[in-house]
Structure 1
Amino acid sequence: MSTQDGDHAVENRPAPLAGKQMRAVRFHGKEDLRFEEIEEPKCGPGQIKLVPAWCGICGSDLHEFQGGPNLCPTTPHPITGETVPLTFGHEFSGIIEELGEGVADKWKVGDRVVVQPIIYDGDCGACQDGLINCCYKNGFVGLSGWGGGLSQHVVVPEYAVYQLPDNVGLDVAALVEPLAVGWHAVSISPFKATDSALILGGGPIGLAVLQALRARGCPQIIVSEVSSMRKQYAKNFGAHVVLDPTQDDIVARCRELCPGGGVNVAFDCAGVQPGMDQAVLAIRARGTLINIAIWDKHAKVWPNDFNFKERGYMGVATYVKGDYQEVIDAIADGRLDMCHKMITKRIELDKVLEEGFRTLINDKDNQVKILVRGSGEM
């Protein structure tokens, strides 16, 4: 893992565990999540030790719990060297409690921060091009090792830590990670401020894309969603039109609402075949389908639908370094003024399984983002 100054990866690897104990939520395997006592990590050179304040439960965490391990390594991760069991939690804010040797003078104990959790080697072609999200060995704090936000203490490389402005709360800061996914997708897409957009899915990432589009002044945001509660969330977050694919002809309605043959861009945050089929045809000539969703199985694509209208397809992978700071700035200056409404439930660390994961599985339509309180937010 390289620092922003280009130091070699090995220098940022967490130091050996100390003898002191702490509590953490650990993923052992499919449907095996445990709140248990483990050794507290020690802060080493170039590292910062945090007390997590708030941590969000991500859809990736749910996928791992229900069907994994998939993202979590079962053989030693090429950078962290770790395998399951691993501490969960990659959407988190915290308070600095210790600074390792060589950490920049700008940091001090007590600083309020948020963590950008991408793990990357700094040496591969993607990293050399600045695409840390596409690193050929990449991983995530909270999914690939180096601890996670669902714990009482965590140690991360200095590069992963971002300072919070005074007007950004630690709870809202835990939303920076999912918001950065949506922000990055809009940033690297061909979207222009005068363009129309279709979003497939009104879950957390769909709402993150919606807010990123709204912050950029998109004049026509259309959301396709089945759940009645999530349709209402989309309306509350500023969608101009909300459609139900079980009731509405998505293609016909997009062409009706967007003169010129359909929307300019479509963002797939759902990852289901019928939705993608509709989205392709709802895009005008030379429009683009941007896929953010992680698919559970192979999708079928009919190339002629792209060829005859010269439509484009773009995959998106999380975010790059600059996106995190841009999202923090957008929260602070009010462009992402509705993001706090994503928080639908707050729970304690020892209730993560039943009140967090079980709730999101059994009552997902009524939830957007469940936050877990850490020791840094009393």
Structure 2
Amino acid sequence: MKAARWYKAGDIRVEDVPECQIDEDYDVKVKLHWCGICGSDLHEYLMGPIFIPVGEPHLVTGEAAPVIMGHEFSGEVVEVGPNVTNVKPGDRVVVEPIVCDDTCPSCKAGNPNLCQNLGFHGLAGKGGGFAEYTTFRHKFVHKIPDTLPYDKAALVEPISVGYHSLEAGDFKPGMTAVVAGAGTIGLATIESLKAMGAAKVIVVQRKSVRQEYAKNSGADVLIDPADGDVAEAIRAATDGYGADIAFECTGAEACFHQLLDGVHTGGTVVITSIWEKPVTLDLNDVCIPEKKVVGSICYCGDDFDDVIRLMDEGKIPANGFITKKVALDDIVSEGFETLTGPEKKKQVKILVSANPDELGA
């Protein structure tokens, strides 16, 4: 089968590889329809390895680079193992791409996203979504309704990242929230906040088409950091007090400090972005105003099923998220190079497919 494999930063190759087969562990085989290019994929392309094991194999998958990429995908079940009861051939599905060991304290507590040996399908080896087929563990495979198209279903994974960040930050209905960045995760966070009852959503985003994307997703206030002091603008939009909670979705140090200043005393900043460089922080800015800085990584529990339901009900519409669709053969030139080139701000989510039916062949 055809697949896109990461060899090193700047080196992704579309190659013919042996078609994956189910086994005792990876017991569901999926014919892939659409897979999104994630910000994490871009980090690996530009600055990797970050999550991808190089040299030493991943402790769970036993594999190292080169690995098949892609973890935001939808498809159709074509084969299952003898002990699989939650899905069957013909089911339309998405996959929660958590690679975990099942044995560490976090896994046993029901938090596989905090596994001591955490990895991701499409980054840690043993297959991925930038291919014709993949296999994965049945407990992480979720059925989707017939009313949710395959292309939109490929958004369940990134939207679940934004949705989970509300849980990580202990968001409550009626809170005033700030979201920094209107890329995929930022937009997912905006729409999750609106769906879950935020009183006001303030978005920090430089002037570009992404401001329009933020408006379409429900932003109540837009702040361009080029126009002045962001924290002052946040306070101005919150009756001088500051926001209850803020979500950092850019990976930019300046933005993190602006959000930390922009939440009120006792407020919370949630870090959802993946960082390429360390950040310098005066801990007095956290300690003295008793602010909270918390991390959020991927999803767990019922997050996927909640997002599938909210999307199907139209409460998270995700309209306009998909800005481009490309064939697997063109993933580098039309996908990664577009998302790292001069037109990157125009894009939200680029979907990739090796499926001729999806591509109109």
TM-score (norm 2): 0.96
2:352 aligns with 372
1:342 aligns with 2:321: yes
- How many residues end up aligned between the 2 structures? 355
1:361 aligns with 340
Rounded to whole Å, the distance in 2 between the matches of 1:71 and 1:376 is: 30
2:59 aligns with 78
1:38 aligns with 2:7: no
**1:179-198 → structure 2 map (5 Å cutoff):** 179-198=159-178
Rounded to whole Å, the distance in 2 between the matches of 1:161 and 1:218 is: 30
Moved more, 244-253 or 353-362: 244-253
Residue identity opposite 2:60 in structure 1 = I
Q: Does the aligned pair in 2 maintain the 1:51–1:374 contact within 8 Å?
A: no
- Give the counterpart of 2:89 among 109, 115, 127: 109
Q: Does the aligned pair in 1 maintain the 2:71–2:120 contact within 8 Å?
A: yes
Q: Does the aligned pair in 2 maintain the 1:95–1:376 contact within 8 Å?
A: no
Residue identity opposite 1:241 in structure 2 = V
Q: Does the aligned pair in 1 maintain the 2:213–2:320 contact within 8 Å?
A: no
1:96 aligns with 77
- Give the counterpart of 2:4 among 25, 32, 46: 25
**1:133-148 → structure 2 map (5 Å cutoff):** 133-148=113-128
Rounded to whole Å, the distance in 1 between the matches of 2:90 and 2:329 is: 24
Q: What SS class does the counterpart of residue 136 from structure 1 fall into? A: coil
Q: What SS class does the counterpart of residue 58 from structure 2 fall into? A: coil
Deviation at 1:174, TM superposition (A): 0.3
Q: Does the aligned pair in 2 maintain the 1:126–1:135 contact within 8 Å?
A: yes
Which runs of structure 1 show a deviation greater than 3 angstroms over 4 or more consecutive aligned residues?
none
Q: What SS class does the counterpart of residue 155 from structure 1 fall into? A: strand
- Give the counterpart of 1:207 among 179, 187, 197: 187
Question: What percent of counterpart residues are identical?
Answer: 39
Q: Does the aligned pair in 1 maintain the 2:168–2:295 contact within 8 Å?
A: no
2:46 aligns with 66
Rounded to whole Å, the distance in 1 between the matches of 2:31 and 2:357 is: 9
Q: What SS class does the counterpart of residue 230 from structure 1 fall into? A: helix
Deviation at 1:237, TM superposition (A): 1.1
2:100 aligns with 120
Deviation at 1:373, TM superposition (A): 2.1
Deviations 1:201-227 (A, max 9, x none): 111111111010010121211111124
Deviation at 1:179, TM superposition (A): 0.1
Q: Does the aligned pair in 1 maintain the 2:246–2:263 contact within 8 Å?
A: yes
1:15 aligns with none
Rounded to whole Å, the distance in 1 between the matches of 2:275 and 2:24 is: 39
Deviation at 1:348, TM superposition (A): 0.8
Moved more, 117-126 or 182-191: 182-191
Q: What SS class does the counterpart of residue 344 from structure 1 fall into? A: strand
Deviations 1:38-97 (A, max 9, x none): 101111235011110100001111111112122110111000000000101100001111
Q: What SS class does the counterpart of residue 340 from structure 1 fall into? A: coil
Q: Does the aligned pair in 1 maintain the 2:221–2:237 contact within 8 Å?
A: no
1:48 aligns with 28
Deviation at 1:374, TM superposition (A): 3.3
Q: Unaligned 5+ residue runs, structure 1?
A: 1-21
Deviation at 1:188, TM superposition (A): 2.6
Deviation at 1:273, TM superposition (A): 1.6
Deviation at 1:321, TM superposition (A): 3.0
- Give the counterpart of 1:132 among 106, 112, 117: 112
Q: Unaligned 5+ residue runs, structure 2?
A: none
Deviation at 1:365, TM superposition (A): 0.2
